Structure 1
């Protein structure tokens, strides 16, 4: 842990060929996107992710305005003097339109689009650089339970998981991996295969990553640690529910003692060395 602050560029510092942002009040912003003006923007609807290395010397920030129709993610790394836009709208490839969920790990940004296609962006390189390493061929993560809440996670080996939870009972999860036997994923209604363990790892769903199980730290294998089932864009806040779900036994363990703290939000995390 470190008490060092991280100086970030101002939100209006974005470099873009098609749009610009200007501050119009203490917490208000206006975006001009090729002549289309969006003036309902404020710091209250900014959502983002932060990755910091163990030493605190390197970091990546990704953020967006969480409003219907938002068409950009913006990011910067240590040393950048401004944010760079990543478009969420592709006129020639509607599979990549929109944002449902994202996971940030060092120089990799994993995006689940509105149609549940997975796009992986490489953010390494000089300022303003990003590259789609799915090479324009994103893979849909589609299950039979389209009505369930969904998010994505990334394993220690870099494999993307689809994680679904029952929006009604709130006590069950399903986890899927990409089904390599699907010959035409673009026309298939089910492109994943369900898995019933995490291969001895544990999933910190709040962060979107699996970690090795660790008896010393109390990290149980094949378990999903979460505080909210679902953290999507444009969704009303859900009740805080600090739990561990065991994928093998299908059992749920809650921590009701934390209710007395009247927390507005909470997330599981791993302490640094």
Structure 2
């Protein structure tokens, strides 16, 4: 999915090198957080969450974010475009906006009644919220990785971003992306994947993460924060990461848009030169089915 400067959104098939323009619905003002097949998790500027079918008029309204329970914090409305985080004592922590929201979506379309699970968090927050069909509020849980980001910044000497992804087997991956430029102003990417070691007891202050050097026969779609089985007929390469940018949700300012496939074994990037002729301001990798 591409977002040109002079258009709402278009769809691009890299195998055909062809651009398609959906006829509806109108996505102006929405931000795309995640997708599961043709269903997309989106947020409007007022921090209202929806699940939208990309190819129809279907829209599911999710409970308001301030309905969250069990996250050791409260969210309260501050004007039209902010939520204020407050401790149980009532002391405010910080305002939150739609630009800081991340999300993961899972949808089962095979059931007679649509089943879905939504997981979301604000950048740098220490809790996640989730809801599924039938919920009238979001449930929250505190999180703490125990990862020393300071040491990672020193080791990698660059700008590091963090994502959370879920594999097909249900494992949770911590994905660190390093973006930097060399002396010739050429941009580079390095990815580090971590998962929790289940053999070591974890508490609130410490958890043991082990680095994962391969995804095997799976590919990671970083925009959707999920892995999928590799499929040669669909052009999905194994042991690869499909990504577009390293600052999709966590920063208000825009950095470089890189629509690439990163091979974990060879540590090389494959760019899509056919897109250079388009004036693109944003893009999202997704699987329509």
What TM-score, normalized by structure 1, do the two folds share?
0.64
How far 1:222 sits from its partner (Å)?
Answer: 0.8
Q: Does 1:47 align with 2:31?
A: yes
Q: Distance in 1 between matches of 2:217 and 2:65?
A: 35
RMSD: 3.8
Does residue 91 in structure 1 map to residue 107 in structure 2? Answer: no
1:202–1:222 Cα contact (<8 Å) kept: yes
Q: 1:122-152: per-residue Cα shift (whole Å, max 9, x none)?
A: 32215x34334xxx35342635525511122
1:256 equivalent in structure 2: 273
For residue 185 of structure 1, report the CA deviation from its aligned partner: 4.2
Aligned to 1:103: 104
2:152 counterpart (118, 127, 145): 145
Match of 2:224 in 1: 207
SS in 1 for 2:189: coil
Distance 1:104 1:171 in 2: 26
Deviation at 1:217, TM superposition (A): 1.4
Distance 2:22 2:261 in 1: 30
The answer to whether the aligner puts 1:187 opposite 2:205 as a matched pair is: yes
Query: Aligned with 1:158: secondary structure?
Result: coil
Unaligned 5+ runs, structure 1: 9-42, 66-71
Structure number with the bigger relative contact order (C-alpha 8 A, sep ≥ 6) is 2
**Contact map agreement 2:36 2:106 (CA 8 A) in 1:** no
Query: Which residue of the partner structure matches residue 31 of structure 1?
Result: none
1:177 is matched with 195
**CA distance in structure 2 between the partners assigned to 1:6 and 1:261 by the alignment:** 22
CA displacement at 1:179 relative to structure 2? 3.3
Match of 1:123 among 100, 112, 132: 132
1:63 maps to 2:43 = yes
Inter-partner Cα distance in structure 2 for 1:244 and 1:53: 19
Corresponding residue number in structure 2 for 1:226: 243
Contact 1:117 1:138 in 2 (8 A): yes
The unaligned stretches of length 5 or more in structure 2 are 1-10, 12-20, 53-57, 67-74, 76-84, 108-115, 154-158, 182-187
Task: State the secondary structure of the residue aligned to 1:111.
Answer: strand
1:110 aligned counterpart, secondary structure: strand
TM-score (norm 2): 0.61
**Mapped pair 1:244 → 2:261:** yes
Q: Which has the higher strand share?
A: 2
Distance across 2 between alignment mates of 1:6 and 1:111 = 24
Evaluate the alpha carbon distance shift between residue 51 and residue 248 of structure 1 in structure 2; reply closer, same or farther with a 3 A threshold.
closer
> CA separation in 2, counterparts of 1:152 and 1:180?
17
Number of residue equivalences: 221
Is residue 103–residue 120 contact of structure 2 (8 Å, CA) maintained in 1? yes
Conserved in 2, the CA contact under 8 Å of 1:117 and 1:141? no
Which of 167, 176, 181 is residue 155 of structure 1 equivalent to?
Answer: 167
State whether residues 165 and 222 of structure 2, in contact with CA within 8 Å, keep that contact through their aligned partners in structure 1. yes
DSSP-derived class of the 1:216 partner = helix
